[in-house]
Amino acid sequence: MQIGELARQTGCEVETIRYYEREGLLPAPARSASGYRRYEPGHVEQLNFIRHCRSLGMSLADIRQLADYHRHPAPEPCDRVNALIDDQIRRVHSQIETLQQLERQLLALRGRCHSPHTLADCGILKTLEDASSGEPCACHPPATGKKIAG
Amino acid sequence: MQIGELARQTGCEVETIRYYEREGLLPAPARSASGYRRYEPGHVEQLNFIRHCRSLGMSLADIRQLADYHRHPAPEPCDRVNALIDDQIRRVHSQIETLQQLERQLLALRGRCHSPHTLADCGILKTLEDASSGEPCACHPPATGKKIAG
DNA sequence: GCACACCCTGTAGCTACTATAGGGTCAAGC
DNA sequence: GCTTGACCCTATAGTAGCTACAGGGTGTGC
């Protein structure tokens, strides 16, 4: 099949497929006399593998590793596969925690301006301004030993 | 002060300061006879303002807006400031939800391989392989109407 | 006159694509 | 035989927010 058909079957953009080939994620297919890429059914699965891993937030470098393990299922232990997934879980978890803290900070900042104000009176701008001068701000309370609410 | 001193006072890299200037976030300072940038104390505050907003995850485009409002506190209402923060809160919140779903999927995938296996027997690789062939996988359970556990 | 810390501009790199520009191929229809 | 249109090709630049060079100039102390 041609690249357009592969794209349709996998829901992946044509440009992305060519990009994966350049990046060594998808093996280069045979070419027709006129230089068109000719894919086999196996390519559909390989591309699905990549897209599935991407949907799990994995980096292309990690996927390259996983795809290699998948293509060459040696009798060695699969510790590295597990470690790779564990790392990904840790990364995602720490991103969640960072974003949750961010959300709390943003909500605190947002709480500084409710009723209609002018720009000159906006509690949000005032808070940001004070913070720029080194004053303590609502959004970044001193976290040294003290609980936020308790 | 020179750019290095501004960098020290704000904890911001010299290259980043020049980058902010290029991007129109930080006003271009005066120059010495030999072309060195000469910053005033006001620049410290403006850079702190930018860094503070960045620490809240805001985009440079949004910060450019906020900094403009801050520099020109007109008597117009501050609705746009509030809307900007609200949008940021929404963005962060939806990122959190996406990542939480990702985490659940990764944990489900991880659960397919516990004891020591070989690469050929790895439940994680198997799961990814099956998913590539269109079979239902542990990490992406069908969410159409059915609850995962219940 | 040299070493060294600092400064300058300009450009390339990072991730994972996406979007062009500028061209070739192929089948159908007239 | 010619055109039209869908498809394909390569190469390059753009996205966000920096970071890291290369290749050079400046300023101060010894």
Question: What would the DSSP string read from start to end of A72-123?
Answer: S--SSB-HHHHHHHHHHHHHHHHHHHHHHHHHHHHHHHHTT--S--BGGG-H
Q: Which of residues 110-129 of B touch A (CB under 8 A)?
A: 110, 113, 116-122, 124-125, 128-129
Residue from A124, A135, A140 whose CB has the most chain B CBs within 10 Å, to mutate: A124
Q: What is d(CA B69, CA B64) in angstroms, rounded to the nearest whole number?
A: 9
Range scoring the smallest mean pLDDT among A120-124, A134-138, A141-145, B129-133: A141-145
- pLDDT of A112 > 60? The answer is yes
Mean pLDDT of B75-88: 88
Q: Does B11 touch chain A (CB under 8 A)?
A: no
Question: Which residues on B lie below 8 Å from A96 (Cβ)?
Answer: 96, 99-100, 103
Q: Would you state the pLDDT for residue A143?
A: 58
Nucleotide nearest to A16 (CA to C1'): C17
Nucleotides of D under 7 A from a protein CB: 7-11, 16-21, 25-27
Distance CA A7, CA B13 (A): 43
Whether A21 has a pLDDT exceeding 60, the answer reads yes
B109-126 pLDDT per residue, tens = 999 888 778 888 888 998
